[in-house]
Structure 1
């Protein structure tokens, strides 16, 4: 958690404003343009390319035609028929995001990632080394450009809400004649907060989604200024007690949320929207294995294990069902995650087919390698990991991750327990998979029936 400033900033002095919000400009699009310079200057859409694909990001040229994130790709194509539609390997975005995170951490340890392309920073302890807050913002822009050749916009303010809105105000603008460069850094002094804030539409505030916005419109609230003028009792009657109090505080420029340093994530998940509804049980089983393997791979990459497996199924009528099970011991291998996921899927009615399947792992803990657990050095731990990635005897990967009699507690008289932990063989297989993928790429090897489907989760993250 971030440290609180020792004193409030001078209302007219921006130098010690503690919070920065950094947001990359058209991040996915610009990463794709780095890979393929022929895309520069053209309208570009990044997202799913199939009939159920959605837009993840659009270039400013495409936005001028009305294209925006979360729009169905088919609709985006109609609005901007000349756009290049890119469905890409997600790993390139992760790599760029990691390099950007290193820039953040070179300035302050108080970094709260929000997504691959944005983060909050508390720079209240960085002024002695890097100067006033606006100077830090410009330094970050230059350092990110040097590191990854990408542009960002930075908001500087006294709290998260204002910093987020400020970064948006610093971004390039969409014009019918083409993109108009933004100012890059927007600073909101304390004395100017209310004037800056109240000119925004109400939906600019966190927590104002379509349902809340409709209720606000019913009481004639359209801007943050309107919201600030509404009596609290009337606001509460419209949106509820907790939500009303929250929005009233934001409308007055009050946001006490600290910047939380990056730590153990709450969950790790992968999901897939299918181009056509899946009905065949074997195909659904293969997808569960593939998604479980991807989740487990990310767990190991972050040095984590998890105890709670959750599956999410969306039916053709868009109804959503979830099931979860908590294990006695944390696990980090695809075999165990898939076993539990398949059991949970088996409790759901899949007769009408499924539109989307997701697998998540939560209740996460840091995994401890043998070398560090017994008091060894980091070098010892690395050696243990490297050795375990090269099993002494050839290993045949498990093609059947289903509920076999030797692995199914339900068939052994203990239906409530589930798998209790990763076996040594499962861990060796996982380490071998990681070593092969690190060297040759993720697509070269997969578990059994999961290999029948091309690509890895994340490569077509926004629908086929």
Structure 2
């Protein structure tokens, strides 16, 4: 007998960091706020909806954001405050279910197939969560309700900001059919272009191609595309997963050579370092020792290179320097081009044990 469909909620706080700043400083309300340090290598952590009307987006270089919106008010990020609000929101989630999978400070998946509250539906649960967030934090959140994680994430973006959208099991295929294939997870601009060459523009078009044909063109990824086109995603909500790696990556509109990747590596290193610092300052306090460089070639081969230095990276600049050096270990022609680069940190260990180990070695005297 088949199991009943899961009931998954994806909750996404609206313009989270910027909204916290506007909440705590009334003079910022209604104004274009950009949460970022100023500087040539800084990136935007968040932008208020007023700033987004000018085209400012998260992960954009701060200098570009300033060009797009000269009247923007730049506010340096304060992660201690954002973490405090995130804990409040997590406590609200926990009233309803123990199956919570945080993706970042401002979003999470919840499996509400069974709940603590006994509310009559996943929709009612999502409404209760959003109402509690508004009342207790004075912030808004958008939510998507669906039978699986990837659909719930699409749904949460459907009526942003401060919206709720529900995809019921019998609505899945009809909902997906007209969507551009770029809305599917993992389909970036280059993959979208390759699908266009096969006359695949929408999810419905994708569904019309046989699994064997998609596997012939895209290998194992073809099977995943086929599953997504049908709305199939069996990945469960995984609560309290230990962090194995933090990373940031970017797919380029035009493929680049190794030497052209340096500014992108520096930009992504800042994002990865910010995520690492949140992990280090978190409840369990874990730090990483290994630097990882990820590349995807123009013909879709994925390459990774890693290095564990004698002492762990101490800054975003040091992380970027090591990641740039890892390019020398890519044994491909200098003319090779790459469609994606990622920078990450792995090899997480408990901060207390790391400090204790460092103190132990520093106390040892050698002849």
TM over 0.5: yes
Residue number among 218, 221, 224 corresponding to 2:197 in the alignment: 218
* C-alpha contact (below 8 Å) 1:22/1:154 kept by paired residues: yes
Deviations 1:48-73 (A, max 9, x none): 42223222222222222222222222
Residue number among 86, 89, 93 corresponding to 1:97 in the alignment: 86
* C-alpha contact (below 8 Å) 1:232/1:245 kept by paired residues: yes
Q: Which has the larger radius of gyration?
A: 1
Q: Which residue of 2 aligns with 1:49?
A: 38
Residue number among 169, 176, 180 corresponding to 1:201 in the alignment: 180
Q: Which residue of 2 aligns with 1:189?
A: 168
Q: Please state how far the C-alpha of 1:7 moved relative to its aligned partner.
A: 3.6
Deviations 1:273-326 (A, max 9, x none): xxxx99xxxxxxxxxxxx8xx8699178515577x5337699xxxxx9954239
Deviations 1:104-157 (A, max 9, x none): 122111001111111100011206633321110011001112332110011111
1:24 aligns with 2:13: yes
Q: Which residue of 1 aligns with 2:159?
A: 170
Q: Which residue of 2 aligns with 1:265?
A: 243
Q: Which residue of 1 aligns with 2:345?
A: 360
* C-alpha contact (below 8 Å) 2:15/2:47 kept by paired residues: yes
State how far apart, in whole Å, the 2-side matches of 1:98 and 1:265 are.
Answer: 18
Deviations 1:361-404 (A, max 9, x none): 52546979xxxxxxxxxxxxxxxxxxx9xxxxxxxxxxxxxxxx
Q: Which residue of 2 aligns with 1:132?
A: 121
> What secondary structure sits across from 2:118 in the alignment?
helix
Deviations 1:190-230 (A, max 9, x none): 11111112222211111112221221122122221222122
* C-alpha contact (below 8 Å) 1:295/1:361 kept by paired residues: no
State how far apart, in whole Å, the 2-side matches of 1:311 and 1:205 are.
Answer: 26
TM-score w.r.t. length of structure 2: 0.73
State how far apart, in whole Å, the 2-side matches of 1:305 and 1:57 are.
Answer: 24
Deviations 1:315-340 (A, max 9, x none): xxxxx99542399xxxxxxxx5469x
* C-alpha contact (below 8 Å) 1:295/1:359 kept by paired residues: no
Q: Which residue of 1 aligns with 2:4?
A: 8
Q: Which residue of 2 aligns with 1:462?
A: none
> What secondary structure sits across from 1:20 in the alignment?
strand
Q: Which residue of 2 aligns with 1:243?
A: 221
Task: Give the direction of change, closer, same or farther, for the CA distance of 1:56–1:7 in structure 2 (3 Å limit).
Answer: same
State how far apart, in whole Å, the 1-side matches of 2:286 and 2:60 are.
Answer: 34
Q: Which residue of 1 aligns with 2:213?
A: 234
Deviations 1:9-68 (A, max 9, x none): 5xxxxxxx5111001111111011122111111122222422232222222222222222
* C-alpha contact (below 8 Å) 2:305/2:326 kept by paired residues: no
> What secondary structure sits across from 1:22 in the alignment?
strand
Q: Which residue of 2 aligns with 1:88?
A: 77
* C-alpha contact (below 8 Å) 1:155/1:187 kept by paired residues: yes
Q: Which residue of 2 aligns with 1:298?
A: 280
State how far apart, in whole Å, the 1-side matches of 2:45 and 2:285 are.
Answer: 28
1:156 aligns with 2:138: no
Q: Please state how far the C-alpha of 1:245 moved relative to its aligned partner.
A: 0.6
Task: Give the direction of change, closer, same or farther, for the CA distance of 1:199–1:153 in structure 2 (3 Å limit).
Answer: same
Residue number among 127, 132, 147 corresponding to 2:136 in the alignment: 147
Q: Which residue of 2 aligns with 1:324?
A: 307
State how far apart, in whole Å, the 2-side matches of 1:233 and 1:263 are.
Answer: 34
State how far apart, in whole Å, the 2-side matches of 1:349 and 1:169 are.
Answer: 40
Q: Which residue of 2 aligns with 1:401?
A: none
* Larger RCO of the pair (alpha carbons < 8 Å, separation 6+): 1
Task: Give the direction of change, closer, same or farther, for the CA distance of 1:313–1:224 in structure 2 (3 Å limit).
Answer: closer
* C-alpha contact (below 8 Å) 2:95/2:116 kept by paired residues: no
> What secondary structure sits across from 1:260 in the alignment?
coil
* C-alpha contact (below 8 Å) 1:52/1:73 kept by paired residues: yes
Q: Please state how far the C-alpha of 1:348 moved relative to its aligned partner.
A: 4.8
* C-alpha contact (below 8 Å) 2:10/2:107 kept by paired residues: yes
State how far apart, in whole Å, the 1-side matches of 2:70 and 2:2 are.
Answer: 54
Aligned-CA RMSD value: 4.2
